[in-house]
Amino acid sequence: MTSLDSTQQSRAKSRPLPAFTREQWVSLILLAGLALAASVAHFAGEPYFVDLASRIAIIALAGVGLNLALGFGGLVSFGHAAFFGLGGYTVSVGAFHAFNMTPILGIDFLPAGSDQMVPLWITAMSVCGVVAWLIGRISLGTSGVYFIMITLAFAQMIYYFAVSWPAYGGEDGLPIYIRNQFYGLDTTNSLVFFGLSFALLLLALGFCQRIMAARFGAALTMARLNPVRLATAGVEPRPIKQVAFVISGMITGLAGALYADLNGFVGPSMLSWHQSGEIMVIVILGGVGRLCGPLAGAILIVLMETFLGGLTEHWQFFLGLIILMVVLFAPGGVMGLLAGRARHA
């Protein structure tokens, strides 16, 4: 014990290259594997599989967002489709108005939309941030099953709102005719689009790791493990959770923005509770509260959907079985299986 302590201390002093933990190795392999698969598929002339890799990266990004609330903050949100869909709609609506050269929402003094990804992403994240703040403000007063129900209720409200708003396609959704632009890059090239999605996934992962290691993360962890201890230490748990929920919604919203451009389409299904469930399944399958858990979950889900779905229509039955197995026998999810129990410093 003491020898371990002293090695840790000397390591902190001299700061050599930090040794990777097993979880970090697994994460690195998953990330590298995804990037490699996309590149190989591209140069083999299989854009379909490159898009599949983009889909994995984007769904993983949505999961990274939810994981911040659900995994790190213990906030079981069953309404993250609200952010995923709003992100998607923001991009779609922006592109729609840019295409038609009409002002946003039909309000004259607002600018026409944009076909540039960066402003669209920023707008999508801002919209999701504001909505997450409002939802969090109301729902964070509750906990447990009530929190789940309130977040679900808000997402459903937004879903029905989208369905009943004919200006943006209502039930039929809204297509994006030309994929939005990222400065000089050819975003219609599958590999370029994958690169953008992958880069944003990496950014989000790095950001989450950083804030979870910082004071905010320490407070959020304590808010999840023991809110009474946090308050007794002099930190109000609720604002901490509120901020985590907002960041979480913004990241998932960014994923929705990318997803709309990937599919060239956004529909109310992106706002539906099935979508919330899918993001949640990704997080739980991958490993709740593990940084790269959502990536592992997204890889598993998308591969199953594609390959099992190719074999049988009833692939979701097998998905159900796998979820059951994970919950019963591997509560740490795929990440838990591959990298062992989560460790807290």
**Site residues for other proteins per CB under 8 A:** 1-2, 4-5, 8, 12, 210-211, 213-219, 221-222, 225-226, 228-237, 239-240, 243, 344-345
Nearer to other proteins, 21 or 226 (CB): 226
The two three-digit tokens of residue 270, written as one number: 């992106």
Q: Smallest distance from the beta carbon of 28 to other proteins, in angstroms? A: 19
CA angle 247, 201, 263 (to 5 degrees): 100
> Which of 182, 165, 195 minimizes the C-alpha distance to 119?
182
Give the 3-state secondary structure of residue 112.
Answer: strand
Q: Smallest distance from the beta carbon of 196 to other proteins, in angstroms? A: 24
Q: Euclidean distance between the first and final Cα of the chain, in Å? A: 15
Q: Smallest distance from the beta carbon of 171 to other proteins, in angstroms? A: 40
Nearer to other proteins, 18 or 184 (CB): 18
The two three-digit tokens of residue 278, written as one number: 């899918």
Q: What is the DSSP letter of 266?
A: E
Q: Smallest distance from the beta carbon of 199 to other proteins, in angstroms? A: 20
Buried b (16+ CB within 10 A) or exposed e, 205-236: beebeebbeeeebebbbbbbeebeebeeeebe
> Which of 66, 127, 92, 55 minimizes the C-alpha distance to 267?
92
Q: Are 118 and 182 in contact, with CB atoms under 8 Å apart?
A: yes
Q: Smallest distance from the beta carbon of 344 to other proteins, in angstroms? A: 5
Q: Smallest distance from the beta carbon of 2 to other proteins, in angstroms? A: 7
Give the 3-state secondary structure of residue 27.
Answer: helix
Nearer to other proteins, 219 or 271 (CB): 219
Nearer to other proteins, 73 or 79 (CB): 73
Q: What is the DSSP letter of 175?
A: E
Nearer to other proteins, 221 or 275 (CB): 221
The two three-digit tokens of residue 4, written as one number: 């371990």
Nearer to other proteins, 235 or 322 (CB): 235
The two three-digit tokens of residue 210, written as one number: 């950083």
Q: How far apart are CA 288 and CA 338, in angstroms?
A: 14
Q: Smallest distance from the beta carbon of 31 to other proteins, in angstroms? A: 21
CA angle 117, 53, 265 (to 5 degrees): 45
Nearer to other proteins, 49 or 207 (CB): 207
Q: Smallest distance from the beta carbon of 345 to other proteins, in angstroms? A: 5
Nearer to other proteins, 4 or 311 (CB): 4
Nearer to other proteins, 243 or 284 (CB): 243
Q: Smallest distance from the beta carbon of 97 to other proteins, in angstroms? A: 34
Torsion angle, alpha carbons of 240, 243, 244, 250, to 10: 180
Helices (H), 44-183: 47-67, 81-100, 117-139, 145-163
